[in-house]
A and B are shown apart, each in its own frame.
Chain A
Amino acid sequence: MNNRIGVYVCQCGSNISDYIDVEKVRAEVAETDGVVLARTTMFACSDATQKEIVQDIQNNELDAIVIASCSPKLHLFTFREVANRAGLNPYRYVQVNIREQGSWAHSDNPEMATFKAIHQVKAGIARAKLSQTLTRLRITSVNTALVIGAGMAGMKAALELADMGTRVFLIERDHFVGGRTSQWSSLFTTFETGEEVVLRVYREVDSNPNITLLTGAELVSVKGTVGNFEATIKITPRYIKPGCDMKQYPELEAALKKAIDACPVEVPDEFNFNITKRKAIYNAFKSEFPQCPAIDHEHCTRCGECLKYFDHIDLEQKEETLSVQVGAILVATGFDPYEPAEGEYGYHELANVITLPQFKRLIEIDEKELVYKGRPIHTIAYIYCVGSRQTEGPNKHCSRYCCTSAIHAAIHANRKYHGIQNIHFNRGIRTYGKQETFYSESLEAGDIFVQFLEEEPPVVFSENGKTIVRVNDILTRQKEVEAEADLVVLVTGMVPRKNSNIGELLKIPTGRDHFFNEVHPKLKPVETVIDGVFICGACQAPFNITESVKSALSASSKANALISKGYIELDPLLAEVNQEVCVWCDSCAKACPFDAISKISFDGKQIASVDHSKCKGCGMCLPVCNVDAIGLTGYSDHEIESMIDQMIG
């Protein structure tokens, strides 16, 4: 029981003292048993007052302090540090919130606000009396990170971590790195190609001794907690002997071509968003790295035809499983382009309706003339916000990159081919920031912009063999206008990856849009509620490449700061099991949102045990325990009851 307690009642300038009679509060609590010092102060958080408090603690040999001021969210750590500086255990400090819960809430009734404040402070004093010396928990951590996804975000995060001295396992499910960026030929805002950008980053990743890049690699399970995750990775064979780099050995090209020609299996090429086909054995596109062929594990029939022409094939390769110890995990799994429903704006029903990603591949593939399915293309109609900004369904978000991307693609097509007319059917152009110049450029180049409302979307139909887009144009007095188009491009938004279970494996919460959720959009933008698990890039929300890389750099520095010291400090205010009383009924384990409680054997019986590195001290387990065997350090039943006594006293 502490009985040399110091109490401070803060005026917060006039924020508190305008409504609460702080002098009265001070006088009322000064007489309380155990209080040796009670003061009012203009600003408790000011430097001068902090120094005064330190001196008070030392001069009066205080064993606990109570500060009645603002919300602990604002200054709990400030005043814990004050205690620490004075040589007092920081957990012997109690904050009472008489501003947000007092003066601001009851500005209409100063008298009762003062009455309430007196009781609040008395309750705080009661808790301070019972407060104990606690020390922060320390767990060891390995300075190794797992980065999932080797797109632009993943690769940049890996490089940044490696540069700061963290070892990195960079895993990529595909046989090639570069992600979506490698699929785009020309990129806004610089017209650099995906190939150039990916190659630059890939070279650095490839030569960095701190990074282990694994392609064809997928996370299958994860155990452990922050600082000590054990990740199991499955590696799908490439069926190509190592070191078969086509850039290095161009003489292999002819043999590889024969092998590919010989392959009897043909499947849609996902890299080209299925507008072309590829064989089960296929070479890397020039923007994919490593520049080394691969065999599609799933579709290959092991017929052996390719072996006749190409020596570097090894069909004996087996699937491998690898286990790595990592301190933190960065998820950079990216996005999928929205796949329009059958018949959505004529998709899959009319031959010349494609998506923006498909169109971008088409511009890359068609060299001299823009041709789709044998027909030359001159007039292109773009329909915006397909799979974005929908009132119904999960895709309420704006995908942000698509306006710029579509206009950029239109400009690119205009520059590359002769006689292109672009008509943009949009819901308001959002080429934010510096990207606005593209909008200007396309306007000046003669692109036509037609704007529609969500409830009056364009209709795409075929008439006498011509494809027509018809819409009410809000920029032309809501007049119904139509355009004939050789190609209709659906400007599809971003949606979360469909075939990925990373979220479930790592228990990362998702939003209503099914993208991964950060803890706080402003204050903790790359952290998840799972300690040690970070998110970056377009798996979190629609980002363009610049934004993805920025979040990747942010996540990598947060991860490095967390694990590079070799240990991680945790708050000691955690759940605690009374081993004598506990009889293991599993109610607490079920109630725990963080999977921190497990069953152990103790003294010949089964009891609950709390994993300190997982527990967040939320207290969800306390009320469900039938035998009162679980408590929360710093918020014991005894403490809470003594506070209630003061409150109602």
Chain B
Amino acid sequence: MARINPGFKKEIQKYGSFDFNACYNCGNCTAVCSLTDAGNSFPRKMLRDTVLGLEDDLKSSVEPWLCYYCGDCSTTCPREADPALLMMSLRRWLTAKYDWTGLSGKFYTSKRWEIGAILTLSVFILLLFVFFHGPMTTELTPEGGVALNTFAPWQAVEIGDWAMAGLLSFFLISNIVHMYFMIVRKSRIRIPLKLYLKEFWALIFHFATQWRFSKCESESGTRRENLKKGKYNYWVVHFLLMSGYVILFTMIVGMLGWFQTDEIHPWWHPQRMLGYYATFGLLIGTIYFSYLRIKKNNEKTKHSHYTDWTFLILLFLTTVTGILVHLFRINGMPYLTYYIYVIHLMVLFPMLMIEVPFSKWSHLAYRPFAIYFNNLVLAARKQNAA
């Protein structure tokens, strides 16, 4: 038994969607969707549950994560109910629901909370440096670089990194466990342990490739044709950005001693090559996605929530300040290096702390886990039926 809750639409509207009530249930959205299938039918089902305000059903739905916002449903919708935007809004809403701390919901529905949190964390980093920074030596290394590790010894920063990574993992993993309970446990299907292992590859595969995402763009024509037409641009740029992020995150958190050196390696050194690749990916990604969001010429980027912009701006600033740190360091400009390094961390830290467990970047975990959980449920159902 589900109770119709007309008030729910007000809540979901805070997460970005506004037109879904115009829906008259024709189902064209589901008909044109290149990702929907018999196992998981969307977006009409999600739209319907939202209109009726069936929160419990929505909370246990994986469908929003299976959608990659190609926007075909919204361009096809005869009522301009914008189903794609609703799916996006539901992803934000689900992120807030998975988060047991409630902070995510606050960030998504209140600009004050979001900006306040960013500023607080920035000031925290600033204060750390004000009180604990090392000597601001102007003496350069033999190669002519700045002695950054004197100002901010990597050993000390790494302790902070580990602390941050610990916090991030704690929040993100606990939210994923919460998500597991909401989706898999709620389905009341017994899943044998073997299936958990068997389906695990999907998690890794989809995390690494965003394979479904690329499927989303290839509604018609061969892959080669679509590649020529630029239909994979979005996926390619997204891949660049994602891989750059993962590489940098790994180097910063796990290998800071190798990454943050005073020594200036030759240009072909893996440290520099990887750093350049990642920086390139992040820069291209943030500029490309910002450009699309300003131009608003496709469904995916037509409607930007303020959290979308917060994320892009923070990431862009992190990238730019990172580049500057590098340039100032290798060109022997000590004070600029120190100041920009502090600013770099003042942006980087809140960006990771807010975006990864509580906001847009949590999708890096929720999307592959949703596919994993969904595959588990479907496979178990199939086994039970057979």
State the A residues within 8 Å of B (CB): 379, 421, 423, 439-440, 443-451, 470, 473, 475-477, 479-484
Contact = CB atoms under 8 A, between A and B. Distances in A.
A482 B2 contact: yes
Given A421-B6, A423-B4, A446-B6, A481 B52 contact: yes
Contacts of B49: 476
B22 A448 contact: no
Nearest to A444: B22
Interface in B38-66: 45, 48-49, 51-52, 54
B4 A482 contact: yes
A404 to B, nearest CB: 15
B9 interface: yes
Given A443-B79, A444-B21, A450 B6 contact: no
Nearest to B44: A475
A448 B2 contact: no
A647 to B, nearest CB: 60
Given A448-B51, A448-B52, A475-B48, A480 B2 contact: yes
Contact of A448 (B3, B6, B79): B6
B6 A482 contact: no
B309 interface: no
Contact of A483 (B4, B23, B45, B48): B4
A441 to B, nearest CB: 10
Contacts of A379: 6
B197 interface: no
Contacts of B9: 446
A444 B22 CA distance: 5
B196 interface: no
Nearest to A485: B4
B137 interface: no
Nearest to B6: A421
Contacts of B6: 379, 421, 423, 446, 448
Nearest to A476: B48
B48 A481 contact: no
Contacts of B1: 470, 480-482
Given A448-B52, A476-B48, A477-B45, A439 B24 contact: yes
Contact of B54 (A421, A451, A470, A481): A481
B25 interface: yes
A482 B53 CA distance: 11
Given A473-B52, A476-B49, A476-B54, A446 B21 contact: yes
28 contacts: A423-B4, A423-B6, A440-B22, A440-B79, A443-B21, A443-B23, A443-B24, A443-B79, A444-B22, A445-B21, A447-B21, A448-B4, A448-B52, A449-B24, A450-B4, A450-B52, A451-B25, A470-B1, A475-B25, A475-B48, A476-B48, A476-B54, A477-B45, A481-B1, A481-B3, A481-B52, A481-B54, A483-B3
Contacts of B22: 440, 443-444
A484 B4 CA distance: 8
A447 B6 CA distance: 9
A476 to B, nearest CB: 5
Contact of A481 (B4, B21, B25): B4
Interface string B56-85: 000000000000000000000001000000
Nearest to A423: B4
B113 to A, nearest CB: 27
A76 to B, nearest CB: 50
Nearest to B4: A483
Nearest to A470: B1
Contact of A476 (B24, B52, B79): B52
A475 B22 CA distance: 15
Contact of B3 (A444, A447, A450, A482): A482
A391 B23 CA distance: 30
Given A443-B79, A450-B52, A479 B21 contact: no
Contacts of A423: 4, 6
Contacts of B51: 448
A419 to B, nearest CB: 11
A448 B51 CA distance: 7
A444 B9 CA distance: 12
Contacts of B2: 479-482
Given A443-B79, A446-B21, 16 more contacts: A439-B24, A440-B22, A443-B21, A443-B23, A448-B52, A470-B1, A475-B25, A475-B48, A476-B48, A476-B54, A479-B2, A479-B54, A480-B2, A482-B2, A483-B3, A483-B4
B381 to A, nearest CB: 16
Nearest to A422: B6
A470 B3 CA distance: 9
Q: Give me the 3 closest cross-chain CB pairs, A-B, nearest first.
A: A483-B4, A421-B6, A475-B25
Interface string B268-289: 0000000000000000000000
